[in-house]
């Protein structure tokens, strides 16, 4: 499959999507968003793939929505199209994926770029990463989760300050604030992200999917509801042949051979 604004590859059971508009700092135009959505859906449907990485490569993740594409749009244009609907479909594909989606971020992840990383399940950041919601500086505001996901991830004070001033966070501050799972040296980002993703892809996929669903419940429901979901999901894993294989392998001091990976 060939795309205009992204590159895709499969390596060690991992589907890798690389945003590829270097001339525009990977700005998220409609084509790029549509292609990311399609690629995520394609990897989601591919049984040989157990985890997905979205990256912008070694220099920049994405400097936000494509301002040049947006600048002449009127309210009526946006409202009629339910903007960012194309973008929303892309976000939905990421959010609805049952396979884990990792954002591997180097350089700027700004505006819609930051929002795309937050739609992923977790972020591995290069030490060069910079996160921000600078929309205020161009007279607008975040439109794909910047005021919502950022606030849930790092709390009201920091999210409010960042969205109101456009201040960027470097990788260290983002890790301290809980936005980022882990920081790695920039020149090892691709390798470390692949190592993490291929480890997840080597696990029992039904268990991976239930864990992802259960952790996500913690973000969207009460503790009681989440605990109940977790208990039922835990019990359900005992119906998986991989669960029996995993436990028997432990007792027999050997590596498990999961069938559903």
Q: Write down the catalytic residue from 56, 115, 126, 207.
A: 115
Catalytic residue among 35, 38, 135, 175: 135
Q: Contacts with ligand CO8 in 121-140 (CB under 6 A)?
A: 134-135, 137-138
Q: How many CA atoms lie within 13 A of 90 on its CB side?
A: 26
Q: How many residues bind ligand CO8 (CB under 6 A)?
A: 24
The verdict on whether 38 is a catalytic residue reads no
DSSP letter string over the chain?
---SSEEEEEETTEEEEEE--GGGTT-B-HHHHHHHHHHHHHHHH-TT--EEEEE-TTT-SB-SB-HHHHTT--HHHHHHHTSSHHHHHHHHHHHH-SS-EEEEE-SEEETHHHHHHHHSSEEEEETT-EEE-GGGGGT----SSTTTHHHHHH-HHHHHHHHHH---EEHHHHHHHTS-SEEE-GGGHHHHHHHHHHHHHTS-HHHHHHHHHHHHHHHHS-HHHHHHHHHHHHHHHTTSHHHHHHHHHHHTTS----S--
Q: Does 24 bind ligand CO8 (CB under 6 A)?
A: yes
175 is catalytic: no
Is residue 25 a contact point for ligand CO8 (CB under 6 A)? yes
CB of 146 to ligand CO8, least distance (A): 7
What's the min distance (Å) between Cβ of 82 and ligand CO8?
A: 12
Residue of 111, 112, 143, 146 marked active site = 112
**Residue 155 beta carbon to ligand CO8: minimum distance, rounded to whole angstroms:** 21
Is residue 119 within the footprint of ligand CO8 (CB under 6 A)?
no
Which residues ranging from 67 to 106 are in contact with ligand CO8 (CB under 6 A)? 67-68, 84, 87
Residue 90 has phi, psi (to 5 degrees) of -65, -45
Shortest gap between Cβ of 142 and ligand CO8 (angstroms)?
6
Q: Given the rule CB under 6 A, which of 1-9, 47-55, 65-73, 195-203 is the region that contacts ligand CO8?
A: 65-73
Part in contact with ligand CO8 (CB under 6 A); list of ranges 109-117, 206-214, 237-245, 248-256: 109-117
112 binds ligand CO8 per the rule CB under 6 A: yes
Q: Does position 108 bind ligand CO8 by CB under 6 A?
A: yes
| Angle at CA of residue 21, ends 149 and 104, nearest 5° | 45
Assess contact for 106 and 58: CB atoms under 8 A: yes
Taking CB under 6 A as the binding criterion, the range among 5-13, 41-49, 110-118, 218-226 that sits at the site for ligand CO8 is: 110-118
Hey, which residues does 6 pair with through a beta bridge?
19
Catalytic residues: 65, 112, 115, 135
Binding site for ligand CO8 (CB under 6 A): 24-25, 27-28, 33, 63-68, 84, 87, 108, 110-112, 134-135, 137-138, 142-144
């Amino acid at each position: 499959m060939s795309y205009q604004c992204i590159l895709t590859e499969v390596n060690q059971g991992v589907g890798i999507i690389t945003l590829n508009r270097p001339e525009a700092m990977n700005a998220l135009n409609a084509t790029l968003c549509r292609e990311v959505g399609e690629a995520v859906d394609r990897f989601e449907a591919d049984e040989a793939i157990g985890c997905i990485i979205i990256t912008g490569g070694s220099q920049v993740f994405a400097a936000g929505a494509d301002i040049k594409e947006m600048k002449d749009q009127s309210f009526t244009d946006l409202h009629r199209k339910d903007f960012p609907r194309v973008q929303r479909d892309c976000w939905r594909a990421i959010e609805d994926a049952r396979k884990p989606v990792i954002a591997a971020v180097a350089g700027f992840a700004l505006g819609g770029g930051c929002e795309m990383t937050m739609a992923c399940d977790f972020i591995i950041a290069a030490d060069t990463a910079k996160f921000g919601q600078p929309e205020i500086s161009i007279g607008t505001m975040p439109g794909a989760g910047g005021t919502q996901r950022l606030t849930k991830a790092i709390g009201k004070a920091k999210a409010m300050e960042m969205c109101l001033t456009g201040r960027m966070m470097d990788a260290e501050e983002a890790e301290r604030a809980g936005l980022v799972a882990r920081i790695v040296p920039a020149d090892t980002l691709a390798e470390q992200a692949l190592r993490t993703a291929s480890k997840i892809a080597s696990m029992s996929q039904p268990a991976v999917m239930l864990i992802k669903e259960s952790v996500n419940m913690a973000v969207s429901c009460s503790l009681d509801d989440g605990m109940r979901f977790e208990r039922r999901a835990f019990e359900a894993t005992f119906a998986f042949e991989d669960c029996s294989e995993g436990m028997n392998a432990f007792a027999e001091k050997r590596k498990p051979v999961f069938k559903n990976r």
